[in-house]
Structure 1
Amino acid sequence: MEIYTVQQGDTLWRIANRLNADLAQLLAANGLDGSSPLVPGQALVIPDRFFQYIVQEGDQLGTIAARLGVTARSLIEANVLRNPASLSPGQVLYIPYRNHTVRAGETLYGIARAYGVNPQSITRANQLTSASLAVSQVLRIPAPARPVKEVNAYTTSFDVAGAGEVYRLGHYFTYLSPFRHAFREDGSLTPLNDRPVIQAAEANGVQPLLILANFTERGFSSDLAARLLRNEPLQGTLINNLLTAMRQKGYRGVNFDFEYVYPEDRDRYTAFLQRAVRRLRPEGFLVSTALAPKNSGTQQGLLYEAHDYGAHGAIVDFIILMTYEWGWAGGRPWAIAPINEVRHVLDYAVTVIPPNKIMMGAPLYGRDWKIPWHQGTFARTISPQEAVALAAQYGAEIRYHPTYQSPYFRYTDETGQQHEVWFEDARSIRAKINLLNEYGLRGISYWVLGNPFPQNWVVQQALVQARKR
């Protein structure tokens, strides 16, 4: 996989020709068609022409396998395909190996370099005893090894379209988190029509997680959390109701997303988690929490103080760090998840939480602010695809911030109003996924589905393998 930055005067055909890329694959990887305008500064992801294949309209697994010279069974196993007869256009397939027929003058090292793999992997795959090759010898070229990581995705869409998105993308996930169930003052759970997305998750071997939040019609409630955390009998009632809901609906675990908890309830929150784990883990359920992005144990603020990283890390199975929303809708224009800020959070987190329990949050969206920015105004949330379309519509050049590692641009609309847009692209998501290996993290957690971003799945699939439980 490569990432190419569009230059003035580029065309899709010229880019594909220059990079020896298949034009249809290039278009599919970036959600483009032949008439899509290019924007200077736009990032294009170029699928690995040997080890990635993006499904086209009308493709079937058998014809793909024959075209690539591999077996259908190897594609099924490498991609953990639960329904091989139902491929989705745009689906990224990982090609586990390619066959290469040696030509005169070729060397092991030259072949390895051409495919982007190391010579030792070819030697092992073919049980070679020397680097000498024979003309017409057929070598199996194994794809580069990828680390296995867990992948979570939140969804807030429970209609046919939302379920369809989970069907299409579920092969990239370990967990699906329908957002959200809340609890009432009596310990009962609010209803959620989550059955369609749970069925879609199950069809892809994805484990659904029940998200439980201290949420009311006014948003996250400190008082509702306090009522629960200061009342042990109420906690018992809530946990019983959780068990019932998870059994009935097919959830495999719970994620407690308690936000804006009063600082004085910090230890009570810890005690509640211990109680929940004692009840739920013997039943085979995973228990996790979602925590605000802190860069120290003494960080002040209602969002942060009751979230005890060390205690949660010792108690629960894993933690989702919400490392996004620096550029929040009600704040000044800024990158949603500037990489330097994400690093600050991880630098602290790994000192108190085992890295293999940390799921790093990542956004699948961008924002469009009106500028000059005024307190009390709110940005519009947009998808990465919409962001590029806006830049094309208004003739803006996309720039890439070296510190934040995030794309951005400015434009002026028809009314003369100026705007500033920050979003995600192939470069920014590659930078984030690379942190998983750098810090030895458990995986990545996306907020939120519903924002078209085809580049993301090409990059993820090239860099990591999603664990399926």
Structure 2
Amino acid sequence: MRIHRVRQGETLQQIAGDYVVSVRDIVRVNELSSHDVLVPGLNLLIPKGDPLAVQAYTIQPGDTFQSIGERFGLTANVLTTWTGYDPSESLPVGTRIYLPVRRPSKRTIEVNGYLLPTGTPSDARIFQTISDMTYFCSFSYQARADGTLEEPKDNVALAAAKRAGIRPLMTMTNFDGNQFNTTLAHTILANNSIRRKVIDQTIAVCTRKGFGGVNVDFEHMQPGDRPLYNQYLRELRDALHAQGLSVSIAMGPKTGDNPNQPWMGAFDYRTIGQEVDFLMLMTYEWGWVGGPPLAPRLLHDF
């Protein structure tokens, strides 16, 4: 949403054309009673139109509002709005200005949702209110120390997701029924036979229930288990890919790599990025239900 201050002589048609939105949407958002009368100085809310990017441009000798507008396909009103210069002003050579550039198309995103299924009809009703979701993660298949999996009651939810064209993913955790268990994760990751059994059980469940892949959500692992976790993901990936299934993970957010950091240290971003098909970054871990409200932080590359 942007704000436009009406200038003398402007019409809604001109303003709508400048921002690539419809007159109807401007009238609706601003609750205007007339399409014809605009008072100079009036601030209008401009609803979202075509997606825009911003391009920097350095004013060259001989540049005018008209020549810049023609080069970038922008009206004088748009240039004034974005640069702050008036069409009657001369443009200072060497000054950097920022201009809107319309993207040719919108980006496609993938959307995931987690559900703790109850096995009741309410699970199916949830999917009746959801549209344009890519994945549904059934939470959760709890890995046990003997290599077996504790399954949720998700048959109703799975059937509803498939009817809605949503790809179901099996979420595997080191949750012991009360908490994410550090010792349980280590037991599974460090023992070859248990690790193999968990993978075999996972493949069997995916085949029996029709999952499209597995989402691993191991949390609160020992920082020293980082190489073991990497190895487990490689082995799981190879087994799943052989069946045409995807592997993804949920992992904690961090702005730098500190292998000794509690909770986050076990996640080797660089290696994991080569081992999984995609991931869910749990930015809400910067602030959680038991603490003060915090905004998610942006992730730095490293």
Scaled to the shorter chain, the TM-score interval is 0.5 to 0.7
Report the identity percentage.
Answer: 31
**SS at 2:254 equivalent:** coil
1:306 aligns with 2:259: no
1:150 aligns with 2:103: no
**Residue 320 of structure 1 aligns with which residue?**
280
Higher mean alpha-carbon deviation, 293-302 vs 237-246, is at 293-302
Question: What is the TM-score normalised by the length of structure 1?
Answer: 0.43
- CA drift at 1:325: 3.4
**Residue 347 of structure 1 aligns with which residue?**
300
- Report the Cα distance in structure 2 between the residues aligned to 1:197 and 1:22, rounded to whole angstroms: 38
1:32-111 correspondence to structure 2 within 5 Å: none
What stretches of structure 2 of length at least 5 have no aligned partner?
4-23, 31-44, 51-72, 79-103
**Residue 165 of structure 1 aligns with which residue?**
126
- Report the Cα distance in structure 2 between the residues aligned to 1:47 and 1:231, rounded to whole angstroms: 57
Alpha-carbon distance change, 3 to 242 in structure 1, aligned in 2, over 3 angstroms: farther
Question: What is the TM-score normalised by the length of structure 2?
Answer: 0.65
**Residue 9 of structure 2 aligns with which residue?**
none
- CA drift at 1:265: 1.2
- CA drift at 1:3: 8.2
Q: Which runs of 4+ in 1 moved over 3 A?
A: 45-48
- Report the Cα distance in structure 1 between the residues aligned to 2:288 and 2:222, rounded to whole angstroms: 22
CA offset digits 1:334-355 (Å, max 9, x no partner): 23xx25xx21xx213xx4xxxx
1:20 aligns with 2:45: no
- Report the Cα distance in structure 1 between the residues aligned to 2:186 and 2:259, rounded to whole angstroms: 21
**SS at 1:179 equivalent:** strand
Alignment-mate amino acid for residue 280 of structure 1: L
CA contact (8 A) 2:256 2:300 kept: no
Question: Equivalent of 2:160, from 200, 204, 216?
Answer: 200
1:207-218 correspondence to structure 2 within 5 Å: 207-218=167-178
CA contact (8 A) 1:155 1:179 kept: yes
CA offset digits 1:185-209 (Å, max 9, x no partner): 1111102111111122111211111
CA contact (8 A) 1:167 1:201 kept: no
Report the number of matched residues: 219
1:183 aligns with 2:143: yes
- Report the Cα distance in structure 2 between the residues aligned to 1:198 and 1:233, rounded to whole angstroms: 30
CA contact (8 A) 2:112 2:137 kept: yes
CA contact (8 A) 1:312 1:319 kept: no
- Report the Cα distance in structure 1 between the residues aligned to 2:125 and 2:2, rounded to whole angstroms: 28
**Residue 274 of structure 1 aligns with which residue?**
234
CA offset digits 1:100-147 (Å, max 9, x no partner): xxxxxxxx999xx9xxxxxxxxxxxxxxxxxxxxxxxxxxxxxx7321
**Residue 334 of structure 1 aligns with which residue?**
293
Alpha-carbon distance change, 296 to 193 in structure 1, aligned in 2, over 3 angstroms: same
**SS at 1:180 equivalent:** strand
Q: CA RMSD in A?
A: 2.9
- CA drift at 1:157: 4.0
1:254 aligns with 2:261: no
CA contact (8 A) 1:293 1:321 kept: yes
